[in-house]
Amino acid sequence: MKQKLFKTVEGYLPQLKALSDDIFDHPEIGFEEEYAADLLCGYLEKAGFKVERGIADLPTAFRAEYEYGTGGPVIGFLGEYDALADLGHGCGHHLQTPAAIGAALAIKDNYTDTHYKLVIYGTPAEETRGGKINMANAGCFRELDMVFSNHTGNITAGANNHVALASSVIEWTGINSHAGGSPEKGRSALDAMALCFHGLECMREHVRTGSRIHYTILEGTGAANIVHPKARARVTCRCNDKNYLEDMLRRMRKVAEGSAMMTETEVEVRHDPMFFDTVLNVALHNAVEKNAELLDVKKLVRKTEAELSNTGGGATDYGNVSYMCPGVMFNVEYGNNVVAHTPEYVALGKTEEASNYLKNCACIMAGVSYDFLTDEAFRKEVKEEYLRRLSEKGAEA
């Protein structure tokens, strides 16, 4: 059956490549992916999927469903399609949803032994604000018994855990004045920002190992002989536990408020939506690796649980989905060690590397889907691990 699934993927490969090439040729940044979303939805509708557009109040998000019978396991696929500003598709997002479509079509065309439902979620703006966060908050993904997230990489392997991340914009308002003639009448927002940055440096020494604090100036530079009435900064905090990240944000807010108190300025702190850390599922990672072994994948790396648990410092809105249902985020080889988010990565977008990625990625997801549909013990193992890891993080299903 798996060989039949893989051959079906290969049969669809020219269409999948045409989809990814078309998205590549029309790069759109986050929440503006109108062309890509319409293209993918149109294809799925013609392929027999029931498509809902503009879900979760996001015009470029969608949900596509195919159900065989009723009451069976529900398998989900996530697909991104946003490009990088001023660069284009330098992260392989044009390939993700076509690969998911290929896997879903392979199951749809071949498997009729039990009832099941396949759901493809189109998820915008991963590179910027994290569309999956909005979608999770709106109740998406909770219906799924398992979900796939795929991404390009230098090897084929389970993706390491990702950290939780939250960005905040801090804005100070002071009183304008002449710095030389009447400094006593001014209250400097720029001084407040400088004090906040120093406070964050002091805070940096007293956070858990692996936590990170970054900041940058958005507004505040100007002539040296004025007292600055406005200053804005962005602060980003990361750690491997979203609960601890919330405490870091509490402390960061105190630092900002303290800087305003010392300078007699006003301060406003606005938090962007939080990217959650990842809920690991080793059972699904192992299934990905076993199915990859059936394919012509040259750079397959089998990772231990300890290796998968390592966090490289990166964050993704897939983390928010992983708190909603059992899932696996994995990489498939692409790029021959070319670094993502570069012009060199963009240059790979329509090459044979892209075709191989589409084929191997879709085949892996089709194979794991077949395992999930046919092996009740595997489904139970996946769910039990998910519930245990949620409990360890102090969360509930």
- CATH code assigned at 220: 3.30.70.360
Chosen domain end from 255, 271, 287: 271
Domain count along the chain: 2
Pairing of strands 212-219, 230-239: antiparallel
Same domain, 95 and 207: no
Distances (CA, A) of 280 to 382, 389, 390: 10, 7, 9
Chosen domain end from 226, 241, 271: 271
Same domain, 127 and 193: no
Q: What is the DSSP letter of 62?
A: E
For residue 310, the model assigns a pLDDT of 86
Same domain, 280 and 341: yes
pLDDT tens digits in sequence order for the chain, 397 residues long = 999 999 999 999 999 999 999 999 999 999 999 999 999 999 999 999 999 999 999 999 999 999 999 999 999 999 999 999 999 999 999 999 999 999 999 999 999 999 999 999 999 999 988 999 999 999 999 999 999 999 999 999 999 889 999 999 999 999 999 999 999 999 999 999 999 999 999 999 999 999 999 999 999 878 999 999 999 999 999 999 999 999 999 999 999 999 999 999 999 999 999 999 999 999 999 999 999 999 989 899 999 999 998 877 789 999 999 999 999 999 999 977 899 999 999 999 999 999 999 999 999 999 999 999 999 999 999 999 999 999 999 998 8
Same domain, 293 and 151: yes
Same domain, 44 and 185: no
For residue 160, the model assigns a pLDDT of 87
Residue 397 falls inside a structural domain: no
Contacts 24+ apart (CB under 8 A), 87-90: 87/341, 87/343, 87/346, 88/24, 88/27, 88/346, 88/349, 89/23, 89/24, 89/27, 89/346, 89/349, 90/340, 90/341, 90/342, 90/343, 90/345, 90/346
Percent of the chain at pLDDT exceeding 90: 93
Residue 379 falls inside a structural domain: yes
For residue 358, the model assigns a pLDDT of 98
Residue 248 falls inside a structural domain: yes
Same domain, 150 and 287: yes
Domain of residue 233 covers 164-271
Chosen domain end from 271, 292, 320: 271
For residue 346, the model assigns a pLDDT of 97
74, 112, 78: which is closest to 95 by C-alpha? 78
Same domain, 254 and 360: no
Residue whose tokens read 């001023």: 86
For residue 392, the model assigns a pLDDT of 95
Same domain, 176 and 216: yes
Same domain, 47 and 155: yes
pTM: 0.94
Same domain, 311 and 357: yes
